Structure 1
Amino acid sequence: MRHYEITLIVHPDQSAQVGTMMDKYKEIINADGGKIHKEEDWGRKHLAYPIKKIYKAHYLMMNIECDQEMLDKLNYNFRFNDAILRSLIISKNKAITTPSIMMVNKDKEKGKS
């Protein structure tokens, strides 16, 4: 099995359903023997450019380990889910379990407040 980093940009109107959406994808991954090494919810962020006249979106990131068949199934689900504006799947050499830069910055901002 290979390691992947998946980043999703979700429509801001669907932010309330992010939890159930992630549970659905976790279920798909775990059902076929895959593993989730890290899952992060980056929250709402401004987009670099508008997508479908939307200027803010909800960002999610997962590091998973799965086979190609499961990855194809996930990608298929991402494409036909209207709530997902964009998805990015990157192949990684190993599992990454440390917090991403986005989460480290978020923790620093909380510490300053």
Structure 2
Amino acid sequence: MPLYEHVFIARQDLSNAQAEGLIEHFGTVLADNGGKLVDSEYWGVKTMAYKINKNRKGHYAFLRTDAPSGAVQEMERLMRLHDDVMRVLTIKVDEHAEGPSVQMQKRDEREDRRPRRN
């Protein structure tokens, strides 16, 4: 099955438990349609570059999935209809990266950064 990565932004006035509940809910939607949620990360509340629906902040979540395209389309459709989800991004990837995403790594652990010039 194809591999996908999803990022969605939920409204800032949700609690952390509610935002993590959305991850479980959409993982269940995938499972019901023949896919599976490989990994998920809750990135927390972050400030956005611009306002979306009068919100300056949002709960960010990251999902790695292994699902057929029909399951992904259904999950995206339900995300776009859900009142608490403001934005959705889905990318098809060749393989999932091992370990935590760049967003969850500490600055010291990132190897791809070059040293600053003075």
Cα distance in 2 between the residues matched to 1:22 and 1:33: 17
* 4+ aligned runs moved over 4 Å, structure 1: none
Cα distance in 1 between the residues matched to 2:98 and 2:10: 23
Is there any run of 5+ residues in structure 1 with no aligned partner, and where? 109-113
Deviation at 1:32, TM superposition (A): 3.0
Aligned to 1:47: 48
Aligned to 1:38: 39
- Name the Cα RMSD after superposition: 1.8
Post-superposition CA distance 1:10-50 (Å, at most 9, x none): 00112341132222111122233322222100000000111
Q: How many residues align?
A: 108
Identity of aligned residues (%): 29
Cα distance in 1 between the residues matched to 2:52 and 2:91: 21
1:1-113 to 2 correspondence within 5 Å? 1-15=1-15, 16-105=17-106
Post-superposition CA distance 1:36-85 (Å, at most 9, x none): 22210000000011111211111000010100110110011111001011
- Verify the 8 A CA contact 1:37 1:95 in the aligned structure 2: no
SS at match of 2:77: helix
Is there any run of 5+ residues in structure 2 with no aligned partner, and where? 110-118
Larger fraction in helix: 1
Q: 1:38 to 1:45 in 2, by over 3 A?
A: same
